[in-house]
Amino acid sequence: MEDKKKILYSGMQATGNLTLGNYLGALRNWKTLNEEYECFFGVMDFHSLTVRQNPAEFRQRARNLFALYVAAGLDPEKNCIYFQSHVSTHAELSWILNCYTYMGELNRMTQFKDKASKHSDNINAGLYTYPVLMAADILLYQADVVPVGKDQLQHLEITRDIAQRFNGLYGDVFTVPKPYTGKIGAGVKSLQNPEKKMSKSDENPNASIYLMDDADTIRRKFKRAVTDSDTQVRYDVKEKPGISNLMDIYGAVTGKDMKDIESEFAGVGYGDFKAAVGEAVAGLLAPMQERFEEIKNDKEYLDRVIGANDEKAFYVSNKTLRKVKKKVGLTDRIK
C-alpha cells in the first residue's frame, strides 16, 4: 500500500502584480512539490480585503492570479488551486478560532504594526485578526507543512499555538503544521534598494521586475539597477549588495553558482553583466507570459477548473469544520 502523501498548504494575495521575487522565491518551486506532497494553493482574496480594493480590478486580479498559477506550471488536476472566498469554511472556522486566540498573542504580531503604520487611515479589525484567518486557512486542510518566508514565520507560530490549544481542549482535531524546510527559492532584493526585498507594493516601478513586464522593460530595469562604484562582478553581500543581488538572480535563473558567475564575467564591466541578467530573466518569463495569455483568454477552461477545484477544497475543508463544530458543541443543521 502506497504511503499517503503529507499535505502542503500555501497561497498568495490577489493584490498588486506578482514580481520576479514571488516567482523565484515561491511559485517556481511550488510546481515540483506535488510529487512529494498533496498540495493546496489558495487565491487569498479574503486576506486582500484588509486594504481597500477597486472591485472590478480586484475581481480581475484574482482571476488572473489563478491563471498565473496554472501558467507557472501548477497542474489544476494534480494540485487543488482554489479561491479562498469561494469556500465558506474559511470564514466559519476563522470566527470559531477567534474565540480561541488571545488578544496578547495578536498584539505581538509585528506585521500588524508594520501594515497599520502604512495604512493609518484604515486600521481595521480584519488587519488585526488576519493571523486567525491565516490559521483557519492552514488548519482546515490538516496541512503538515507550510512554506513561509521570514515575514510570515510569526503567523505560522500563532497557527501552531492555536492548534495546540484547541487540541489540548478537545483532542487531536488539528494537525500542527511545521514550516516547510525543503529547497527555498532565491531571496530576491529590490533593484533600487538591495537592502530590502523586491516587493509588489514598492512605489518605485524600477525596483521590481513584474511577471508581466515585457522584455524591453525587463532589460531597462536591470540596466538601471543600483550597483556600486567598483567594476568587478564579485559576490559579497555586505560590501556589494547590489551586484550580489543581481548574481543571486542570475544564478537562480541559469542554475550557475556564484564562482561560475564570477568566472564568466571576470574582466567584464557592470553594463554587460546587467544586460546578461536582463536577457536571462526575459527568456525565463517569456514562455510563462505566453501561456498566461492563452489561459486567461480561455474562459470556458478557467471556469471549469476553478469550479472543480473550489468543490474539492470545500469537500476537504468541510470535513475538518464539521469535526470542529461538533467538538465545540454547535448544534447540527436540520436537513
Examine the residue annotation and report whether 197 is marked as an active-site residue of this protein: yes
Calculate the dihedral angle through the C-alpha atoms of 283, 34, 76, 159, rounding to the nearest 10 degrees: -110
| Assigned fold of 6-180+299-328 | Rossmann fold (3.40.50)
Amino acid found at 191: L
- Domain locations in the chain? 6-180+299-328, 205-294
- Catalytic, out of 5, 31, 78, 200: 200
pLDDT at 318: 98
Domain 205-294 sits in CATH 3.10.20.30: no
- Residues in a beta bridge with 8: 39, 145
pLDDT at 1: 43
pLDDT along the chain (335 residues), means of 10: 83 89 89 90 94 92 96 95 98 98 90 71 86 97 90 89 98 96 74 92 92 96 93 93 95 94 93 96 97 96 98 98 97 86
Examine the residue annotation and report whether 259 is marked as an active-site residue of this protein: no
Alpha helices (runs of H) in 45-145, residue ranges in sequence order: 45-48, 55-71, 89-98, 103-107, 110-118, 125-140
- Catalytic, out of 189, 197, 221, 240: 197
Examine the residue annotation and report whether 238 is marked as an active-site residue of this protein: no
pTM score of the predicted model: 0.91
- Catalytic, out of 4, 5, 78, 115: 115
| CB of 258 closer than 8 Å to CB of 235 | yes
Q: 11: helix, coil or strand?
A: strand
